[in-house]
Structure 1
C-alpha cells in the first residue's frame, strides 16, 4: 500500500462540511430561561455595585439581573439598551472577565463571578426575538448629522441622535454596515448573521439613512460634510494596517490578519477558504487570537502565535489566550520577527528573542526559525489618511472627553479617536456620549 504524498502549501477544503460546521458553531451557547434565573440568583444586588463602575457604558447591572430573576427579561433588555444599544453584540464579544465580572464581589469572594455577559445576552436576545424596538424618536428637530462609519461607535451615535429627533445620514466605506462587528470578529463569537440582524433592528428607530460605498477622502470629504450638515461624527475606525518592517514580508501568503478574518466572515462556504498546514500569526491582541484559532478550525495542523513581549502584556485577555491554547494553538512570547523566509514561496519566519532592559524592549542575537506556509500579521492598525485640520494625539484623532475634535462641528469616537481602549463596548460609549454632546450643541 502506497502512502499518499503529503501536500504542503495553502489550500482550501482541508476539512469536510460537517467538521467546519461544528468548529464554527456558537462557542459560548446562550442560557435558556431556567439557566438565566439560576445564574441571576447568584447576584448580591450590591448597593454600590463595582460591576457598574467597571462597565464602560455604565449599565445598571444589578437592576437588569434582578429583572431577569423576577421573570421580566424584556425589561432587563431595556435597562441594558438604554446605556448600550449594541448590548447584544457586546454580550458576545466583551472581555467581561477583565471588566464587570472581574469587579464582581462573587469573583473576589469565590473566584467565580456572576455570569454577567451571558445574562446580558439572554436579556437582549429575548427582546430582539420579539422583533420590537423599545425606543421611539422625539419630535423632529430639523437638524441633520453626518455619521462616517457604520461600526459600533457610528451606530451608537446615530441611534442616540435619532432618538433625540435629529435626522442622520450614515456613510459607510464598505458595501454593508457593522464595522468590526461584521468584519473583524471571529465567526464563532457572532453566529447566525447576528451583526446584520442587530444593525437592522437598530435602524427600526427611524430617521437614519444608510449610504454605502462612501469612503472618506474619496467619495466624500470632511469639508463637504461640514458644509452640508449641521454636525459631523467620525467613527470610521482604523483602515490602515501596520507593516512588520522586515525583509520578505511582501511574499505571497504573508498577509494581514484583519483581511483574513474579514474574508472568513463574509464567506458563504468555509471550505473555499485556503489555509496552510503550518500557520504563524505575529501579534498579541484579539486579532491575533481570532486569526490563530480560526486557522486551526479551518484545518491547519500547526498554528503558532508569536508575541514580542511577555504573555502578561498581551492585549488579548487570559480567557482568550486559554481558549486558543485549548484549540491547539501554541503561544511563543518574547520573540520578534526579523525576516520572512523563502526563495519564491514562503517557507518560514525567523525571530529574535527579546529582553526588557530599563523598560525598553531589546532584540537579542539569539534567533530561531519557525517553518510556515502561511503568515498572518496582527500588529495593529492605523488611520488611513487624516482629513486636513484635525489635530492628532499620537496616531489617532485628538478629542475632548465628549468626543469634540479640533474642528468646530466635528466629533469623533471609536478606534479612530485617541484615549479609549480598542473595544466594541468602549466605542459604543464614545459614540453615545458624542451624540449627547452633539445634541446639546445643536439645541443650544
Structure 2
C-alpha cells in the first residue's frame, strides 16, 4: 500500500476551466442596485446619537449619508463618506462591519438584522467613482513640503489630507504600485475590476501629490535625508517581516508565506497560470489565513485545511470570515499547533501537529498527542511584524522611540519622539484594519498641518 510519503508533490496551474476561474474570482458580494439601496436606506432610524457612528474608526456620519441615499442624493452621500474616510470605497468592501458599525446598529438589537451599512457605503462611493467625479478642491499652495513613506492606506490618507490643505506631498513607495495591502494583500474576489488602483487614481487626481516608486526607506532614502529636505515626514511603512514557524522543515519546497501567495495571485493577470497544490494546509487564524485558504480552494485545490492553535472565539478572523471559508469548502481545525513539516526529496509531504489545551493558568500548552495531515503546500499565516533594523539605517533605533513590540511609539496625534516625524498604520500597531490605518493618516495630517501653519 502506497503511503502519503511516497506520493510526489502535486503543485500545478490550470486545475479548473476558464469559466470556473471567472466565476470563482468574480465579485463575492454583488453591489446594491438603486431600488435595493433605497429600500435598505429606508430601514435606517437616522439616530440622533447614532451608535453606528461611534463604532466607525473614522467617524463617518452614517445616518447623514444614509439619509442622503434615501433622498437620492447619492453624490452627497459619497462626499459625506469620503470626507472622513478617503478609502471609503475599499472599506465598504473589506471592513468587518459585522463587528463595527453594523453590530452597533439599533436594528441589530431589535431584529438581529442591522442596516447593511457597508453595502450602502459601497453603493454611494461606487456611484461617484463610476462617474469619475472629483468632489475635492485643493487649497492654494502653501510652499510647505511633506514626505510620506509608504503608499498604503495610512500614507495615502495622510497625503490626500495634506495636499487638500495646499502642502506639496511626495510619497515614496517601494512597490511598483500604490495601495499597500489594498493592492497586494486582500483576496481577489473582494477587490475586483482593479478597484484598488481606481481608488489610488481618485486620490491622486485631487492634485498636490507626487509618487516615487521603487524607493525603500533605508535602501534608497534615509530618515535623516527626508528630515533635511522636507518640513515634516509621515511613516506609513506597514509590516516589514513575516513571522516564522520556527520548526523543522520550514525550508521545504511547498512551504510559503501566505502574504506572498496572496500578492502573487492579486497581481496575476491570468489566475489559471498560478500553481496550486491538491492538499493545502494553512497555519494561522486571521484574515490572511481565511483569504489564502479560500482562494486556494477557488484555484482548484481539493482539500484545504486551516489549523489554529486555539478555539474559534480566539481567532482574529471574524465569525463571518470563518463561516465564509467553511461555505467555500475549507475545513477549520482548532486546538492544534504545528510541530514538524515532513518532507521527502526536498518537498513537503505532511504536517505533524500537536493537540493543545489551556492549562490551569489559562496558558496554551501542548498535550503531547500528535497527528499528521497530508499536504503538498503549506501557507504560513501566523502574523506579520515590524522590525526597525530591517530599514537598514544606521542610528535608526537611537533617534526614535519604540514600543516593546518594536513598532514606533507615537502620541495621540501619531507624532513620534521626533517633533516633525509622524507614523501610522501597522508600523504603530493597533487594530489591523484598513479603516484604522486611514484614520491614523487623517489624524497625523491634521497634526502636521497644525505644525506647519502654527494654527
Give TM-score scaled by structure 1 length: 0.97
Instruction: Give 1:112-261 correspondences, 5 Å limit.
Output: 112-261=113-262
Task: Select which of 345, 348, 357 maps to 1:346.
Answer: 348
Are 1:82 and 2:80 matched, yes or no?
A: no
Instruction: Give 1:312-327 correspondences, 5 Å limit.
Output: 312-327=313-328
The farther-off stretch of 133-142 and 107-116 is 133-142
SS of the aligned residue for 1:280 comes to: strand
Give TM-score scaled by structure 2 length: 0.95
Instruction: Give 1:43-82 correspondences, 5 Å limit.
Output: 43-82=44-83
Cross-structure match for 2:372: 369
Evaluate the alpha carbon distance shift between residue 333 and residue 256 of structure 1 in structure 2; reply closer, same or farther with a 3 A threshold: same
SS of the aligned residue for 1:198 comes to: helix
Are 1:385 and 2:388 matched, yes or no?
A: yes
Query: How far is 1:132 from its partner?
Result: 1.4
Can you give the 5+ residue segments of structure 2 that lack an aligned partner in the other structure? 1-6, 390-395
Are 1:307 and 2:313 matched, yes or no?
A: no
Cross-structure match for 1:404: 415
Per-residue CA deviations over 1:98-122 (Å, capped at 9, x if unaligned) read 0000000001111100000000000
Measure, in 2, the Cα distance between the counterparts of 1:283 and 1:331: 10
Measure, in 1, the Cα distance between the counterparts of 2:373 and 2:401: 42
Q: Is the 8 A contact 2:387 2:407 kept in 1?
A: no
Cross-structure match for 2:449: 439
Q: Is the 8 A contact 2:283 2:379 kept in 1?
A: yes
Cross-structure match for 1:3: none
Aligned length: 438
The farther-off stretch of 351-360 and 177-186 is 351-360
Measure, in 2, the Cα distance between the counterparts of 1:223 and 1:16: 53
Query: How far is 1:8 from its partner?
Result: 5.1
Per-residue CA deviations over 1:5-58 (Å, capped at 9, x if unaligned) read x98511111111110000000000100111100010100111110000000000
Cross-structure match for 1:421: 431
Query: How far is 1:359 from its partner?
Result: 2.3
Query: How far is 1:330 from its partner?
Result: 0.2
Measure, in 1, the Cα distance between the counterparts of 2:228 and 2:26: 47
Query: How far is 1:395 from its partner?
Result: 2.6
SS of the aligned residue for 1:392 comes to: coil
Measure, in 1, the Cα distance between the counterparts of 2:76 and 2:154: 24
SS of the aligned residue for 1:59 comes to: coil
Measure, in 2, the Cα distance between the counterparts of 1:129 and 1:19: 27
Measure, in 2, the Cα distance between the counterparts of 1:50 and 1:273: 44
Measure, in 1, the Cα distance between the counterparts of 2:50 and 2:184: 34
Measure, in 2, the Cα distance between the counterparts of 1:207 and 1:400: 27
Q: Is the 8 A contact 2:388 2:406 kept in 1?
A: no
RMSD over equivalenced CA pairs, Å: 1.0
The farther-off stretch of 119-128 and 379-388 is 379-388
Measure, in 2, the Cα distance between the counterparts of 1:374 and 1:390: 40
Query: How far is 1:353 from its partner?
Result: 1.0
Can you give the 5+ residue segments of structure 1 that lack an aligned partner in the other structure? 1-5
Measure, in 2, the Cα distance between the counterparts of 1:243 and 1:421: 21
Measure, in 2, the Cα distance between the counterparts of 1:147 and 1:80: 24
